A and B are shown apart, each in its own frame.
Chain A
Amino acid sequence: MTTAVSSPYVQRTPRASFGYLICLPLLLSLFSPVAGSAYVQEVTGDTPDDIWSSDYVTYEFPWAVDEATNFKQYHTYDSMKTRMMRLAEDNPGIASFHEGLNGGTNTRGQETTEDTYKGWYYGHASPWMKITLGVEDGEYNEFNGDAGNYADRQDVLVVGNHHAREWMSYEVPMFMIETLIWSYDEIGYDNDGDGLVDEDPWGDADGDGILDDDGDCLRLDPAYQDSDGDGVACGPGDLGVDEDFSEQKLHDLINNREIYIVPMLNVDGNRYDREEFCGPTAWENCATSGWRKNLRDNTLTGITPLPDLDEQVDEGCDGVDLNRNYQFEWGAPLGATGPLIPGACYAGQNNDVYNGPVDTVDQDNDGRLNEDGVDGKDDDGDGLVDEDWLGGNSEPETKFIQDLTEMNDDNGNGGSDFPVTLTWHSFSELILYPWGHCQNCDNPDQDQLKYHGDVMATMSNYENMQSSDLYPTSGDFCDWHYGLFNSYCYTMEIGNAFHERPENIDDILLRNVGMGMYMIEIADNPKERADLAIANISQQNYLKQPNKVDIPPEGDIPVDICVSSLFPYSVDNSHIKWRQVKPSRMQSDYGPREWSYTDWESAKVMLIEGGCPLAAGNGTLLRAMLPISETATGELHYKAMVSTLGGADFYQYPSDGSYYTLDISYRAAFGSLFGALFMFSVVATFVWGGLAVALRIMLKGDGEKVFEAELQAEGA
């Protein structure tokens, strides 16, 4: 043992730096980020902040990167196009970006090039997006330049901004693009941050006549119930109304539809409206005015039409109303201005509904000009239909829609593949369905078109009416699509101004986006869907609720769907979708229980004899056997996807886009006696046997050493 003397000269302070530095990392523990966590809070309050996340309350959209993508200010043509390209680049599996068409020989035998579709004045082709799963892996359409074509997917065409000054009409389709693409990988996202998922989809999902399905808007203090200030409490566009839709449903739609979205058809006109005619803050000076048409040069000075960047636009005369320029029943000057004689235009005569020049080509080379206009009839009795038209589709923008539609024929039936088409306009808060060109004339699908319009009217609180009941229009988008291709087509007149104030953009979008998604959903068979709904047949079907499901002691779990005997179900194409929620095997030691979700899988249904009870009598029983392991614990989520013989595949039960939840407990035997005995003996041999051997060696050795030590001690 050493002795040392305490000395007054001993320095008692070791270098401080070391001691303190080593403590530095300790401080880290205090700076764990103070971030929000996703736990469920009991909702008691009655202000929006009590119920929802602040992002939702202020409409901060989860995909937003700037003011425009957050829909707090308008996109310009450039920022819109850049954003579309960005989305396509970031989501190459589901979205592709296009401008105009490649061209080639179209269905009318005309040769076109990509220049055919570029605006007269600024020279842009209309940008558009194609959204579908495997957008680069389908059949390639060389004319359209689109590789996302699938014969078994229905196509939907959504077009905005026929009319340049109707700015909201391109913001809504942009919002649809953002919502669709973002939702694809965000299944189960809690859009409003209230801890519930998909609890309030668009419209009145539970059929109780109240739009606010989860009742959270209605729970607010009345002072907050009309957040969009339209005078309707808890109406569409208000906080808490239709705010938490099913991302799964949009995901499924992207997998099963080809969605074409053309947010800004009339780029020429829109740029002119923003850059020259009204200016970038058009809502100040042009709320209900502005530039409407495209920029065709109608004046004598130009050789019409001519791309003439040098030449000023003659505002009193130039331009064609694109939504009067479609060929169907073109030229009947109902709500349109007949063709001008070139040169007869004079300043001050503004033809806002000018429908374009008269055709000068004898398309069928029979020596007669324009003897059989486009109306689906053989006007001249020569056995050919619509073969020599009067005019229409003379503009780059309408030619683009015409060729995009007519050249998009995945299934080779010679017609358009768009069972559903939709065009956004403003303003007046109306939903318009064909016809437009004639008054007091029912269309052949009057009841069905009116039905879907009524459904959408409940979503938006808009008025649903036949287009010509508002005012007659000839040569519009919807008459052409419906008249020639029987496409269920709607014109949405949204909002209350051509140039809405920027602070109203998000409210108006939220009020309208559900209608766009509805159109995509019904595209599989809009007529059959309307028929079944009108007869109240699809609403009778039901999926067995969790508390009625009998879990057998062993084997697969049967889940039943009961369908009306009038419902044209298809056994082959109907199925139950299901997934499991399992407790994670590697739980956190101290946190709440963690779950893992399996992917959704499909189980085929089969017809079971004996039927099932329906409110309106006896129904047909369809059953799927879900292969849930007997050792599984946790939850089973399931929903029914019922298809019809007519091809409608999206009758989903429960009908609000959600699913039922069934608790699953362990059903297998806990073990076998002999197996357990064997395993026990193996483990016991290894662990306890091994331990015994080790201790024996150790104690033996230790004993000897202790003995030696004692000997030494004695010797000493």
Chain B
Amino acid sequence: MAESDQFNGRLGLIFASIGAAIGTGNIWRFPRMVGANGGGTFLIPWLFFLFVWSIPLVIAEYAMGKRSRTGTVGTFRIFAGKRFAWMGLWTAWISTAIGFYYAVVSGWTLKYFQLGISGALTGDEVDTTEVWNAFLQSPGQVIFFQFVVILLVLGAIWKGAKAIEKVNFYLMISLFALLFLTLFLSLWMDFSDGTLDGALFMFTVDFDMLFEPEVWINGLSQSAWSCSAGMGMCMTYAVYMRKDEDTVLNAFTMGLANNSISIIAGLAVLSAIFAVNPDPLATVTGGSSAITFLALPEVFAQAPGGSIGPLFMMAGFFLALSFAALTSMISTVELCVRNFVDHGYDRERSVLITGIALFLFGLPSAMLWIKLDSSGVAFPEFLEVQDHIWGYGLMFSGLFIAFSIWKYGYVKWRKEVDAGTAPAGFSGYLGFGVSAFRDDFINTGDNDLEVGRWWDVLIYIAFPILFIVLMGSYFLDMIANTDDVWNPSNPKGLSIILLFWGVVAITFMLLNKYLIARPLYRNIPEGADVDISALPGGDDDMVVELGEVVPGFEHLTQETAIEAELVG
């Protein structure tokens, strides 16, 4: 039997998941959302949706991955049934497509760390716009840092779970430390004029704004994106869970840790900007990269402590940002690689292929359509269009997870109804269906915390409603505010999004039959609870444990086995 891969300690999983969850979104998106949505007012919906959207979804992801012991494609194949393996492909694709340009963005953060530590951002005469434009308009530089990022990531995941665990652990610990350092300097700056107005703003609730739907929608979107809930990251890392891992506690820990980092980063960024900027709100309501690469270097340059303070602050902040980006990149690549490995490809080759694809398909984002906006600031339009197209595809991944749960509950409930042990009718399904998933896969006895009926209610009711609200508000907003929104040649329009989604979804549905014709190898640690017989994909002969031989595919097994031997 081939060797299965797993994390050493419980903290390994937690740190890997936190690393996936904490990305640049926590550090550059959260502060501006707080700024644009009424300061402390924003924290209320943001926290609310952590418990209503993100954590329940992460619980489901952990539970599914822990049972299926495969990546996203396999998980959907097992949980939603053969015909729905393409949903896993969609989930993997969204994450990977985001990864294409995210590697470029991660490169920016590395470059700014380099600029920060070399003192190039702290002089008296530095024009941050010039620095930014010069960087973005030299494709060689951008591509170089993108390449470095991909190399670092490949190095980190080359050897599988244990390496991922280690890298994430050190990067996350450093990230905490660096952010605290930045926070300390920020608060010092803010307090030097006698008031902590940045901190005050961040924690003061404006009750008028609390009743604005937009604040709630933005709270939901921030919570959904920042936690990576629905992206399949947690599903992927759950493959490496030890057998007795507590899915619920892990989900809470991860979600709360994610939000903790957001608060620290938010406080650091807002305090620093409020300390020196005469109209801080005009600044923090701009786009993310504008705040981070234009406003913050200017602000940090005015940190106390002579020339050392600014240097520390600049380097510390951008290093923290790079780490956040790197750990997210790691999970992105791992998600993709896991799917290849599940289907019998050897790990190292998969890592290499994914890395090359990331680099090549990231190139357009790095160099195409670098334009100047009306205030003379460069921005990468191709990259922005990619973000525009794939960003909201994430919502469907979340919906697919809910769908799998609904479906499992439905199938199980039908059987029970036929056996006369469950009530018929729609209310019968509501009472029985999702609860069955919860009993079978979440509250498995390994948990310190048991999930209650509240989770069923969220998956049944809150989930579809929130999905519709978020998608609806996004589309309506786009229709109202975009010129020529239906023109398919408008890269910021709606038609282009629907077109790309449609093409990808249809392609994947057509690929489905190729997917399920291949064996699926589950990564099962010793003694883990692996029974999938009750699941829609449970009777599939092609779904086997790693190392088992599927008739007609012997070559795959042997290859994997050789690999395992070499590793061992």
Give A contacts to B, CB under 8 Å: 1-4, 6-7, 10-12, 14-15, 17-19, 21-26, 28-30, 32-33, 35, 37-40, 195, 583-594, 596, 631, 633-634, 665-666, 670-673, 675-677, 679-680, 683, 686-688, 690-691, 694-695, 697-698, 701-702, 705
Contact = CB atoms under 8 A, between A and B. Distances in A.
A687 B375 CA distance: 39
Contacts of A26: 96, 357, 361
A427 B218 CA distance: 61
A701 B246 contact: yes
B483 interface: yes
Contacts of B490: 35
Interface in B446-493: 448-449, 477, 481, 483, 488-492
B39 A671 contact: yes
A583 to B, nearest CB: 4
Nearest to A706: B9
Interface of B: 1-3, 9-11, 14, 28-29, 32-33, 36-40, 43, 47, 89, 93, 96-97, 100, 105, 197-206, 209, 214-215, 217-218, 221, 244, 246, 249-250, 252-253, 256-257, 259-260, 263, 274, 279-282, 285-290, 343-345, 357, 361, 364, 369, 371-375, 377, 379-389, 448-449, 477, 481, 483, 488-492, 496, 500, 503-504, 507-508, 511, 514-515, 518, 547, 555-556, 558-559, 561-562, 564-565, 568
B256 A687 contact: yes
Contacts of A6: 562
Given A4-B565, A32-B385, A587 B287 contact: yes
Contacts of A15: 518
B101 to A, nearest CB: 8
B562 A586 contact: no
24 contacts: A3-B561, A25-B508, A29-B97, A33-B488, A37-B381, A38-B483, A39-B371, A589-B28, A589-B288, A589-B384, A591-B381, A593-B287, A666-B281, A671-B200, A671-B204, A675-B203, A677-B203, A679-B40, A683-B203, A686-B47, A698-B10, A698-B14, A701-B246, A701-B448
A14 B556 contact: yes
A676 B286 contact: no
Contacts of A35: 489-491
Contacts of B279: 633, 665-666
The 8 closest A-B CB pairs, nearest first, are A671-B204, A592-B373, A671-B200, A676-B203, A4-B561, A691-B256, A591-B384, A583-B285
Contact of B568 (A1, A37, A702): A1
Contacts of B515: 18
Given A28-B500, A675-B40, 15 more contacts: A3-B561, A6-B562, A10-B555, A21-B514, A28-B503, A32-B386, A38-B483, A195-B374, A583-B286, A585-B214, A586-B477, A593-B290, A671-B40, A691-B253, A697-B448
A191 B285 CA distance: 30
Give the secondary structure class of B's interface. helix
A702 B36 contact: no
B419 to A, nearest CB: 37
A255 B89 CA distance: 53
Given A38-B483, A587-B285, A694 B361 contact: no
A588 B384 contact: yes
Contact of B282 (A28, A633, A680): A633
A671 B357 contact: no
B507 A24 contact: yes
A591 B38 CA distance: 22
A37 B483 CA distance: 11
B361 A30 contact: yes
Given A33-B491, A35-B491, A593-B286, A679 B204 contact: yes
Contact of B287 (A589, A675, A690): A589
Contact of B555 (A12, A19, A634, A676): A12
Nearest to B511: A21
A698 B253 contact: yes
Nearest to A30: B364
* Most central of A666, A670, A698 by chain B CB within 10 Å: A670
A7 B477 CA distance: 61
Given A40-B372, A584-B481, A680 B387 contact: no
A32 to B, nearest CB: 6
A587 B286 contact: yes
Contact of B361 (A29, A585, A586, A688): A29
Given A4-B558, A587-B286, A671-B39, A14 B201 contact: no
Contact of A687 (B100, B259, B290, B489): B259
A697 B249 contact: yes
Given A690-B256, A701-B246, A583 B36 contact: yes
Contacts of A695: 253
A676 B206 contact: no
A590 B561 contact: no
B387 A589 contact: yes
Given A30-B364, A594-B287, A670 B448 contact: no
Nearest to A190: B483
Contact of A25 (B93, B282, B345, B481): B93
A702 B10 contact: yes
B507 A25 contact: yes
A709 to B, nearest CB: 10
A38 B382 CA distance: 14
A28 B564 CA distance: 35
Contacts of B259: 687
Contacts of A594: 287, 481
Given A29-B100, A37-B491, A702-B10, A586 B221 contact: yes
Contact of A588 (B203, B287, B448, B555): B287
B390 to A, nearest CB: 9
A259 B547 CA distance: 81
A4 B256 CA distance: 45
Contacts of A666: 279-282
A33 B496 contact: yes
Nearest to A666: B281
Contacts of B483: 38
A598 to B, nearest CB: 12
A591 B288 CA distance: 9
A590 B205 contact: no
Contact of B374 (A19, A592, A596): A592
A2 B564 contact: yes
A37 B511 contact: no
A592 B97 CA distance: 22
B282 A671 contact: no
Given A3-B565, A6-B562, A40-B372, A675 B204 contact: yes
Contacts of A14: 344-345, 555-556
Contacts of B47: 683, 686-687
A1 B287 contact: no
A11 B3 contact: no
User: B97, B489, B562, B568: which has the most chain A beta carbons within 10 Å?
Assistant: B562
Nearest to A596: B481
A586 B364 CA distance: 25
A670 B204 contact: yes
B202 to A, nearest CB: 8
A590 B263 contact: no
Nearest to A683: B43
A632 B374 CA distance: 22
A681 to B, nearest CB: 9
Given A676-B199, A676-B204, A23 B491 contact: no
B435 to A, nearest CB: 24
A589 B383 CA distance: 10
Nearest to A675: B204
B287 A22 contact: no
B13 to A, nearest CB: 10
Nearest to A583: B285
